[in-house]
Chain A
């Protein structure tokens, strides 16, 4: 077996394990954050602070009765969740998480497969994944499902336009279509302290484009405030009304996987991928400091009177955080872990924003949604693209 094959298999296994764990725990984080926004406690019963809740949910979904509606079109009814989940999981494979590193005497990139049209691959997969939802809505033979499926396809087609247009601007700045090239083009600092991330880059402040991208990304993933396809008060549960058990879990997983993918793409395109916020000798120690701070906070909190068991779990979590701090301080491991820490913290911030907005904003009305896409977001993306193109053409040396 060649070096390339072994390394690729190991990378696939690693990314898959981390990705699946993230998907499971993202739901726990979402429930906790939402609960705290609304002055509740969230999941608390299964494990300390509800930490084993995702595991319990998986068992619940696996053991539930698998219903098949009698009037559904069986083939398409079964095909739809398969399309949704497989396409949602495949797009993570082109995202780079770190620079080129050496393992076992060879060199490899920290990604599964680097395409030189990576960004187009993400767009192509996104374009195809509409079918999962549309088919689910249609094949269930239920008017709520059909309405949800139709709404979703209309919404995804409409928002794909500003989404695609706004992606072009950072591509113009980076002058490449591959994710690795885009990430590499954002290395370095202006005057040694402002990072050359796309949102800070000079021709035109891309922060505008970043906001448009995030709004369109919310709509592409059918999240609040754009979750019209599954609006409970109008459509029961939208396109997945008739799905139960693992088939429902597939749609659920697909939604969260799409969220993670959008967060990763936003990180790579606009937020400088794995490049740290400030130059290297100092930024390498940030992860350790963060974990030491977390440990201190946990130790302090354990002294206060909390719920039963907190005086045991808080110090334990604190010791775990100290352990992470030590791991991140080992120079040999730093080359692998520090880029991943920066990438994960940026993507994590975007995912937190997703949840934050879910806890804050109400849902759009359907006509408002379409009006917003076509008469506001689309012109914004177009103007951003034209200005960026003009500035890149006028000042090619500042790129």
Chain B
């Protein structure tokens, strides 16, 4: 059951990812990205990280992607047109792709696998996915990065205010 759900979510994530690149219309691509986010949330849920799954849906599936769609709708962007392939892509495209595939294969072969490989199981993520566990981790072990990120967000907000501020006469 767990592995069936895993396969469904993983295939959905990869399918949506491919669709994201292949679609011509920006709205279709954005919706495929929402599909990717939702499938990832499903995978998190499968690991028992229910809080992260819901946060993924609220923050990435909801807030971030609504902004994407909003901008696409506001600019009324049409379907993109295929341009002729650039000279660089025509000459170096396939050789570079081959190099990438070989590199990836090499890396996968060299990576030492854990001695005991177990199947995906429901709730197999060790620290636990409850809001309580995550809060404890954030405010004890990861306090420093947490605070640094909040300062970073503050800088972003200040930047947005400066950019959006009306000129005062």
What per-residue 1/0 map shows which CB atoms of B115-140 lie under 8 Å from chain A?
00000000000000011000000000
Partner of B66, one of A76, A117, A121, A153: A153
Chain B contacts for A131, CB-based, 8 A: 31, 34, 66, 69
- Least CB distance from A344 to B in Å reads 28
B30's closest neighbor in chain A, by CB? A131
Given the contacts A131-B34, A138-B27, A157-B63, A121 and B54 also touching, CB distance less than 8 Å: yes
A137 to B58, CA, bound (A): 22
Contact between A150 and B54, CB atoms less than 8 A apart: no
A122's closest neighbor in chain B, by CB? B54
Q: Write the residues of chain B forming the contact surface with A, with a CB cutoff of 8 angstroms.
A: 27, 31, 34, 50-51, 54-55, 57-58, 61-63, 66-67, 69-70, 73-74, 76, 130-131
Size of A's binding interface in residues, CB under 8 A: 27
**Is A127 in the interface zone, CB < 8 Å from B?**
yes
**Is A130 in the interface zone, CB < 8 Å from B?**
yes
Given the contacts A76-B27, A120-B55, A127 and B70 also touching, CB distance less than 8 Å: no
A199 to B58, CA, bound (A): 26
Instruction: Tell me which residues from 138 to 182 in chain A have a Cβ below 8 Å from any Cβ of chain B.
Output: 138, 146, 149-150, 153-154, 156-157, 160, 177
- Least CB distance from A289 to B in Å reads 42
Contact between B50 and A115, CB atoms less than 8 A apart: yes
Q: Binding site of B, secondary structure by majority: helix, strand, loop or mixed?
A: helix
A296 to B34, CA, bound (A): 56
**Is A116 in the interface zone, CB < 8 Å from B?**
yes
**Is A134 in the interface zone, CB < 8 Å from B?**
yes
Given the contacts A117-B51, A120-B55, A127 and B63 also touching, CB distance less than 8 Å: yes
Contact between B61 and A120, CB atoms less than 8 A apart: no
B51's closest neighbor in chain A, by CB? A117
Partner of B58, one of A73, A116, A123, A156: A123
Chain A contacts for B131, CB-based, 8 A: 117, 177
Partner of A124, one of B27, B58, B69: B58
Given the contacts A117-B54, A131-B34, A154 and B70 also touching, CB distance less than 8 Å: yes
Which among A115, A121, A156 has the greatest number of chain B C-beta atoms within 10 A?
A121
Given the contacts A116-B130, A117-B131, A177-B131, A127 and B61 also touching, CB distance less than 8 Å: yes
Interchain residue pairs with CB less than 8 A apart (29): A73-B27, A76-B27, A76-B31, A116-B130, A117-B51, A120-B55, A123-B54, A124-B54, A124-B62, A127-B58, A127-B61, A128-B57, A128-B62, A130-B66, A131-B69, A134-B73, A135-B27, A135-B31, A135-B69, A137-B73, A138-B27, A138-B73, A149-B73, A150-B70, A153-B66, A154-B70, A157-B66, A160-B63, A177-B131
